[in-house]
Chains A and B, each alone.
Chain A
């Protein structure tokens, strides 16, 4: 049986109120002991963490993966042990056969684990239900329509009723496509100045309101993905207080950037949902800090040609996996995000949402990251493992260098 001890690690797991310098013993892939550092060193192979943080592995609730082999490497480097892949991957995750293709790719790479999200509707056309139950049986952790529209409220109601019948988790985005009117960025002063079509806040909030009413009616367990408006956070809080079985997340980009970053027509900052105002960003941060929202990467690797076009003609999306943890720790360093909230939002809460064991529990698989919180890092196109170099933080000084990522006790990345 292989054994590894990580000594002198600042172990942080808010689910157990754990925050102290400890040694972590891993045996046969499981966490066997977490004991305060200082007791006599054991004979086992050791890795001295030198007071770096040791936290539960990150669980990404939303990533778009087209090339599993490079992207799971990027995820491992970013401290991500599990990532949910949206159904609009290639091939589309809409049949059990394609689910198993993705699972095979995940096993073959043997790095961060891919958790398939199946399609809610056939071809994501929003019209007819996909074989939802078969997709769940095949191993989909949830079902979503990516960001594609669902035809109308009646189809949505039936989706929710059918999902409730078979106790499935569905993930929805909130967007009224008539109101967003093919917009390209947040509707506000910057969009008006640049002459880019705006996406109004109400495109998200009216859709969210409708979906919340349908949840109230059907009792369906719904996770709302990638919210972008401050107002939406209030609506989620209110609905949760009312007892509705809902959860929600925000993409890291919406916590870090605003519509002002689009200034200069930089297509790197073209994302769906759009980067909104500073007030929205502050409200979303507050939603993460009080535990209302999880954080997802909303990773989408694009090749250079897809981004090298006038803003509105470029492909949306950012490449995030490599830098996700460093982006969060940069927000922590700036005092905008609390460290325990960041861990909660990117690991504990996602685990709960997906029905997985959360945190660093004894006798559970050792999915964890060792990261030096205070080290400055700077990413370049060459240093990123993702095939997409469309990162919004290339050349920026970020905080937090990932030293080690373990998946079920197995080293999937070491700096």
Chain B
């Protein structure tokens, strides 16, 4: 008895343009490709002496990080500045909500300050959807990570990395290795990879970290790292959090590295031109050997620089879609407020 509209469509305008960026799920190949193309064009502007473009001039972007992340927040801040926006960093974790103000009150106050875009990171899955749908629908929401659900800008910068290094995403065999269970990055990557035509997505790790339902998302499950690496074009290593040991999901970092740590010997099982990626920050000697992280096949540092371009692209697109939608809503409202004005000719 499902009666809800497709949640993935919340982020689109009536004519299919991006107005929020909440998840890679449900977005068309055309739209995802548009993000990558625009990001590509921003990479060339970043190589110039003057790096700024005026797409968000006069707009106010608020970084709302309910979870701390200096790295991600900095790249969003830089991206907003390069788009000429005014940016406000709000450390919500320490300010408003601790004074007893609710999440909604905080957001409404910020909206009243004429904010145009919120970049949201929150520990609860669905937080960005909730804000976009129920709290401040007139503000463009960019999801910078919600619980285990989605981290779409990270996934898109990974897509850009693959495209720039492998030429295309179509036909690639991609392995995602490690803690899939807790990974919002992996979920967002799987949706984007499938839409963009990857040949096969493998998720590799122990059963404690790989939900069997990953198959429903379209990924193949491998418990054996060696088998899973055969014929792979792209290896994405995920960060292993220390808590996984105390949660009884793994015995030790040492045993994990023995089974799922990426070494030069294991990488040799993948295709010779396979690239190695990692969303960072890396745990050397836990999920990846230093020789591989710093080796010729690693593109980990390039990922970081692409991150700014991808965030510029989604911010520019969502803002433009949101502005268009607000204008069309305002036009409709004017029509309904004065129904006769179109026909009445001269005022009475």
Contact = CB atoms under 8 A, between A and B. Distances in A.
Given A309-B130, A312-B147, A263 B4 contact: yes
Contacts of B122: 310
B126 A196 contact: yes
B65 to A, nearest CB: 15
B99 interface: no
A312 B129 contact: no
B81 to A, nearest CB: 29
B1 A194 contact: no
A308 B134 contact: yes
Contact of A263 (B2, B125, B148): B2
Contacts, number: 82
Contacts of B104: 305, 308
Given A261-B1, A265-B130, A192 B124 contact: no
A257 interface: yes
Contacts of A261: 1-4
Contact of A193 (B5, B6, B187): B187
A235 interface: no
Interface string B24-45: 0100000000000000000000
Given A264-B5, A308-B134, A189 B146 contact: no
A312 B125 contact: yes
Interface residues of B, number: 32
B216 A193 contact: yes
Nearest to B122: A310
Contacts of A125: none
B103 A309 contact: yes
B211 to A, nearest CB: 5
A194 B126 contact: yes
Contacts of B3: 261, 396
B205 to A, nearest CB: 14
A195 interface: yes
Given A261-B4, A310-B122, A189 B216 contact: yes
A105 interface: no
B150 A264 contact: no
Interface in B88-130: 102-104, 122, 124-127, 129-130
Contact of B126 (A265, A305, A396): A265
A213 interface: no
A69 to B, nearest CB: 27
Contact of B125 (A196, A305, A308): A196
B217 interface: yes
B125 A194 contact: yes
A333 to B, nearest CB: 13
Given A266-B4, A312-B125, A305 B147 contact: no
Interface in B256-281: none
Contacts of A263: 2, 4, 7
A195 B149 contact: yes
Contacts of B146: 195, 310
Give the one of B1, B102, B127 with max A CB within 10 A. B1
Contacts of A258: 1-2
B213 interface: yes
Contact of B124 (A189, A191, A312): A312
Given A196-B147, A257-B1, A258-B1, 4 more contacts: A189-B217, A198-B211, A261-B2, A310-B124
Interface of A: 188-189, 191-198, 256-258, 260-261, 263-266, 305, 308-313, 396
27 contacts: A189-B213, A192-B214, A193-B25, A193-B213, A194-B125, A194-B126, A195-B146, A195-B147, A195-B184, A196-B125, A196-B126, A256-B1, A261-B2, A261-B4, A264-B5, A264-B7, A265-B125, A266-B4, A305-B102, A308-B104, A308-B134, A309-B103, A310-B122, A311-B126, A311-B130, A312-B147, A313-B124
